[in-house]
Amino acid sequence: MYKRVLLKISGEALAGSKGTGINEDVVGRIGDVIAECVEMGVEIAIVVGGGNFWRGRSGEKMDRTRADHMGMLATVINALALQDSFERRGIPTRVQTAIEMNKIAESYIRGRAVRHLEKGRVVIFGCGTGNPFFSTDTAAALRAVEIDAEIILLAKRIDAVYDSDPEKNPDAKKFTELTYLEVIDRGLGVMDSTATTLCMDNNMPIRVFGLDDPENIKRAINGEEIGTLIHK
C-alpha cells in the first residue's frame, strides 16, 4: 500500500455520463472512497482538471493566455465541489490554488501542503501550475514531485492506456505496462509530453485507470495491478 499519493482527476470524470458540469453522484462516490483511504492512513493530494467546464484550447478565437486563465478558474469550481463532498464525510480538506484567491482557498505553499498531509488532511490543488500553456497533467507531475508522492494515480474516463481510442476503435490494444519513452515515442496521449518528461526525469511512476468505478482509487492505492503502469 502506498503511503502518500497524488491523485489526478480529470474534469470529464467528474461530469460522469452528463459530459459537462458536475455529477453529484460521481463526486459523492469519490468522497466515499477517499474517506476509506484516509482512514487507512494514506496521505492524499489531488490535482483536478477543469475540462467539464472549459479547456484553454476550446477558445479558438480567444487569446490563449486568457483562455487558459478561464480553465484555471474551472479547476477551482471542481476543487470546491470535491472539498464539499469530502468535508460532509468528515474528511478535513484544504484547497490550495496556484493563483491567489484567499477568500475561498489557501495559496499554494509546498511546506504548508506537506504539513496538511502529515496531519491527515486531504489537499486539493487548483489552478494547475498557475501558468498558461501548462496542462493540469503537468501540474500533477510537478506537485507530485514537490510533495514527494510515491506515485501519480491518473483517474480517467477510459480504464487504461490503449494504442488508439477504444471508443472509436474496438480493436484498440490495451497496455498493462509502458515505459516513459514508449509513451512519448508512440504519442499515446496519456499525459502531454511536458508532464511525461517531468515524471521521467524524477522517476515518478504513473498508474492510469478508469474512474467509472471510484473503488479503483482504493485498488490503485493498495497496489493492485489495474489499468496501466508507466515507469522507467
pLDDT value of position 61: 86
Helical axes 24-39 vs 64-87, angle rounded to 10°: 60
- Contact between 93 and 27 under an 8 Å Cβ cutoff? The reply is no
Cell numbers describing residue 169: 476503435
Q: Which residues of the chain are under the pLDDT cut of 70? A: 57
pLDDT value of position 185: 94
pLDDT value of position 68: 95
Cell numbers describing residue 105: 482557498
Cell numbers describing residue 127: 489552478
Cell numbers describing residue 40: 487507512
pLDDT value of position 17: 86
pLDDT value of position 59: 72
Residue 231 β-bridge partners: 179
CATH T-level assignment (fold) for domain 4-231: Carbamate kinase (3.40.1160)
pLDDT value of position 138: 97
Residue 105 — φ and ψ, nearest 5°? -155, 160
In DSSP notation, the chain reads: --SEEEEEE-HHHHHGGG-SS--HHHHHHHHHHHHHHHHTT-EEEEEE--TTT--GGG-TTS-HHHHHHHHHHHHHHHHHHHHHHHHTTT--EEEEESS--TTTSEEP-HHHHHHHHHTT-EEEEESTTSSTT--HHHHHHHHHHHTT-SEEEEEESSSSEESS-TTT-TTPPEESEEEHHHHHHTT--SS-HHHHHHHHHTT--EEEEESSSTHHHHHHHTT---SEEEE-
pTM of the model: 0.95
Cα separation values, 155 from 43, 102, 119, 163, Å: 17, 28, 25, 18
Residues in Cβ contact with 167 at an 8 Å cutoff, skipping those fewer than 6 apart: 158
- Contact between 46 and 33 under an 8 Å Cβ cutoff? The reply is no
pLDDT value of position 55: 78
CA 207/CA 55 separation, integer angstroms:
24
Residue with cell 504539513: 115
